[in-house]
């Protein structure tokens, strides 16, 4: 396991086990019909689609207890739905996630356009429950439902020219009211090196807590890169593109002195306007020390061997 549970986490911060189990039982009865209907499948396929709630835990999961479902769904950064952390939950209903497609294109041999239903059937790709820490000054432990991005990359078969992966969010100000304000140059764009994107900790999430991903958390499909600050984990993705040159992400373009391409969690590199040496776990009052690579150094430090992590922030 990646990180052992700290002794100072209070039981009041954790979703009660009975409630979680009751929710799982409810999902077993409802997800079969809902997901099968969305995917246009029936018969034995419907039974197999039942079961975000029955998925196994990933061996990459932390042992730390997760934050409550309420915390996870009501304290969010999703500027497309507003800049206040309560805005995403408040305006989530504006976002319509059916129909939805994901274009995979660029320097690859097998470009494709996927329907979201291709990613919400447990028998289509190997979804698992990933309990991962996410941090951007504040932190949570979130039990994501997802699968490695590497599965999609392998199907696309990138060419030798592909060095980076660029991701793009939906651009639709009618559904995403935050895009009516020029906080950023929309649509939101992020990127990873190809080897970062292929790492097994880099996942595409389609749900959390055994449920279909809520709109305010980046439905219907979002990236999760747990050793990087949260803004790297782009939400509501409509395009994945393989490219040769390093992409310019939205926050790099908006504030290059403050946000670098890598954005790895590094407590030794201060943001120009605040220290990153400590973080606050949502639900806790006392701050805790920020861990290098968000505690995933054993798994990912080799990706940056020989790099100056102060220069390449």
Whole-number Å distance between alpha carbons of 252 and 241: 18
Phi, then psi, of 140 in degrees rounded to 5: -145, 160
Torsion angle in degrees (nearest 10) through CA of 136, 168, 92, 31: -100
- pLDDT, tens digit, 9 for 90 and up, residues 48-96: 233 576 788 899 999 999 999 999 999 999 999 999 999 999 999 999 9
**Contact indicator for 196, 312 with CB cutoff of 8 Å:** no
> How many Å separate Cα 212 from the centre of its chain?
13
pLDDT value of position 136: 74
27-53 in b/e form (b: 16+ CB < 10 A) is beeebbeebbebbebeeeebebbbbbb
Peptide bond into 99 cis (omega under 30): yes
- Could you tell me whether strands 164-169 and 237-243 are parallel, antiparallel, or unpaired per DSSP bridges? antiparallel
Q: pLDDT tier at 127 (50, 70, 90 boundaries)?
A: confident
Q: pLDDT tier at 206 (50, 70, 90 boundaries)?
A: very high
- pLDDT, tens digit, 9 for 90 and up, residues 246-303: 999 999 999 999 999 999 999 999 888 989 999 999 999 999 999 999 999 999 999 9
Helices (H) and strands (E) in the chain, counts: 8, 12
Element (H, E) at 240: strand 237-243
Phi, then psi, of 305 in degrees rounded to 5: -60, 130
Percent of the chain with pLDDT over 70: 81
Give the ranges where the chain is alpha helix by DSSP (H): 17-39, 44-48, 69-74, 87-91, 149-156, 194-198, 250-254, 297-300
Which of 275, 249, 245 has the alpha carbon at shortest distance from 261? Answer: 249
Q: What region does 301 belong to: left with phi over 0, alpha with psi -120 to 50, or beta?
A: alpha
Evaluate if residue 124 carries a pLDDT over 60.
no
Through-space distance between the first and last CA atoms of the chain, rounded to whole angstroms: 27
- DSSP string of 36-69? HHHHT--THHHHHTT-GGGPPBPTT--SSPPPPH
Rounded alpha-carbon distances, angstroms, from residue 291 to 85, 277, 279, 307: 24, 8, 9, 18
Peptide bond into 55 cis (omega under 30): no
pLDDT value of position 14: 36
Whole-number Å distance between alpha carbons of 143 and 131: 4
Which residues make Cβ contacts (< 8 Å) with residue 238, sequence separation at least 6? 100, 101, 102, 103, 168, 169, 170
Q: pLDDT tier at 128 (50, 70, 90 boundaries)?
A: confident
**Contact indicator for 200, 148 with CB cutoff of 8 Å:** yes
DSSP three-state, residue 115: strand
- State the average pLDDT for the chain: 84
CATH for the stretch 11-304: 3.90.420.10
> What integer is the mean pLDDT of 34-58?
45
Whole-number Å distance between alpha carbons of 36 and 46: 5
User: In the chain, where are the structural domains located?
Assistant: 11-304
Q: Using a cut of 0.75, tell me whether the model's pTM lies above it.
A: yes
């Amino acid at each position: 396991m990646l990180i052992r549970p700290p002794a100072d986490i209070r039981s009041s911060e954790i979703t009660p086990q009975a409630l979680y189990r009751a929710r799982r039982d409810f999902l077993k009865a409802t997800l079969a019909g809902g997901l099968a209907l969305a995917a246009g499948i029936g018969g034995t396929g419907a039974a197999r689609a039942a079961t975000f709630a029955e998925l196994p835990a990933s061996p990459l999961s932390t042992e730390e207890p997760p934050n409550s479902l309420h915390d996870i769904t009501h304290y969010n950064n999703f500027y497309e739905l507003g800049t206040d952390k309560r805005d995403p939950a408040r305006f989530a209903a504006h976002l319509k996630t059916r129909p939805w497609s994901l274009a995979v294109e660029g320097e690859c041999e097998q470009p494709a356009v996927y329907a979201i239903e291709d990613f919400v059937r447990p028998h289509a790709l190997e979804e698992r429950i990933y309990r991962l820490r996410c941090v951007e000054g504040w932190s949570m432990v979130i039990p994501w439902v997802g699968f490695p991005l590497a599965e999609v990359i392998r199907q696309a078969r990138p060419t030798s020219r592909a060095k980076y992966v660029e991701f793009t969010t939906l651009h639709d100000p009618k559904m995403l009211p935050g895009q009516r304000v020029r906080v950023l140059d929309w649509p939101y764009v992020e990127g990873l090196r190809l080897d970062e994107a292929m790492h097994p900790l880099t996942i595409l999430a389609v749900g959390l807590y055994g449920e279909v991903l809520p709109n305010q958390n980046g439905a219907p499909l979002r990236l999760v890169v747990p050793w990087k600050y949260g803004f790297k984990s782009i939400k509501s993705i409509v395009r994945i593109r393989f490219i040769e040159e390093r992409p310019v992400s939205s926050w790099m373009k908006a504030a290059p002195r403050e946000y670098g391409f890598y954005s790895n969690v590094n407590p030794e590199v201060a943001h120009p306007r605040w220290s990153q040496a400590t973080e606050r776990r949502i639900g806790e009052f006392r701050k805790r020390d920020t861990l290098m690579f968000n505690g995933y150094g054993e798994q990912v430090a080799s990706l940056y061997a020989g790099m100056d992590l102060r220069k390449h922030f």
